[in-house]
Amino acid sequence: MTDFSGPSPQPPQAAPDETAGAPVGPLDYGTPGGPTLSQRTFRGFGWLTVQTVASKAVNFASQVVLAWLLGPRDWGLVGLAYTVAAFAGLLQQAGVREVLVRRQSRFRLWSGPAFWMSLSLGVGAAVVMAVAAPLVAAAFRKPQLVGLIWVLAAAAPLQALGSVPAARLQVELRFGAIAAVAFGATFATAALTVVFAKLGFEAYSFVLPVAVVALFQSATLWLVAASRLRGGPRPRRWRFLVGDSSLLLASAVLTTLVAQGDYVVLGLLYPESVVGLYYYAFILSMQAVGILVSNVADVLFPVLSTLRDDPQRQDRAFLRAARMFMLWGSPACLLQAAAAGPVMRWLFKAEWEPAIVLVQLLSVACSVRLPIGPAAGLMKAQGRFGDYLRFSVFNAVFFQVVITAGAFLGAATGVAAAMVVYSLVIGPLSLYVAASAGGRRWRDVVSVYAVPVIGGAAAVGLGLVAARLVPDHGAAGGQRNVLAAAGTVARLAVLCGVSAAAYLIIISRAAPELWREVVSHIRWPRRAAVAESAS
For residues 412 and 421, what is the distance between their CA atoms, to the nearest angstrom? 15
Q: Give the angle 95-376-300 at the CA atoms, nearest 5°.
A: 90
pLDDT of residue 186: 86
State how many domains the chain has.
1
Structural Rg of the chain based on CA atoms = 23
Q: Do the domain assignments include residue 282?
A: yes
pLDDT value of position 8: 32
Residue pair 294/48 in contact by the 8 Å Cβ criterion: yes
- Per-residue pLDDT, 304: 63
Round to whole Å and give the CA distance between 531 and 528.
5
pLDDT of amino acid 494: 93
Whether residue 220 is contained in a domain is answered as yes
Residue 368 CA to residue 333 CA, distance in Å, equals 9
Mean pLDDT by 10 residues, the chain (535 residues): 35 32 37 50 60 75 87 89 78 61 64 77 87 90 91 86 80 75 87 92 90 88 77 61 62 81 90 90 78 54 62 77 82 92 84 91 91 80 80 92 94 94 93 84 88 92 91 60 75 92 90 73 47 42
Distance CA 379, CA 224 (A): 29
Residue 400 domain-assigned (yes or no):
yes
- pLDDT at residue 422, rounded to an integer: 95
End-to-end CA distance of the chain: 36
Answer yes or no: is 528 within a domain: no
* SS3 (DSSP) at 391: helix
Q: How many CA atoms lie within 13 A of 218 on its CB side?
A: 20
* Residue 527 within any structural domain of the chain: no
423 domain residue, yes or no: yes
- As a whole number of angstroms, the longest Cα–Cα distance in the chain is 76
CA dihedral 281, 287, 290, 291 (to 10 degrees): 180
Position 283 scores a pLDDT of 86
Whether the CB-CB separation of 237 and 113 falls below 8 Å is answered with yes
Read off φ and ψ for residue 331, nearest 5 degrees: -65, -30
Picking from 132, 141, 85, 68, the residue whose alpha carbon sits closest to that of residue 350 is: 68
CA 1 to chain centre: 8
Kindly state whether residue 73 falls inside one of the protein's structural domains. yes
| Count of beta carbons in the 10 Å neighbourhood of residue 30 | 14
In this structure, is residue 1 part of a structural domain? no
For the CA atoms of 23, 24, 28, 34, what is the dihedral angle to 10 degrees?
160
Query: Is residue 146 packed enough to be buried (19+ CB in 10 Å), middle (13-18) or exposed (0-12)?
Result: middle
**SS3 readout for 435-500:** HHCCCCCHHHHHHHHHHHHHHHHHHHHHHHHHHCCCCCCCHHHCCCCHHHHHHHHHHHHHHHHHHH
pLDDT attached to residue 51: 65
Closest CA to 245 of 90, 105, 120, 373: 90
Tell me which DSSP letter residue 20 carries: -
CB of 10 within 8 A of CB of 398? no
pLDDT computed for residue 520 by the predictor: 66
Q: How far apart are CA 325 and CA 434, in angstroms?
A: 15
- Distance, C-alpha 194 to centroid of its chain: 23
* Domain of 135, in residue numbers: 35-307+366-446
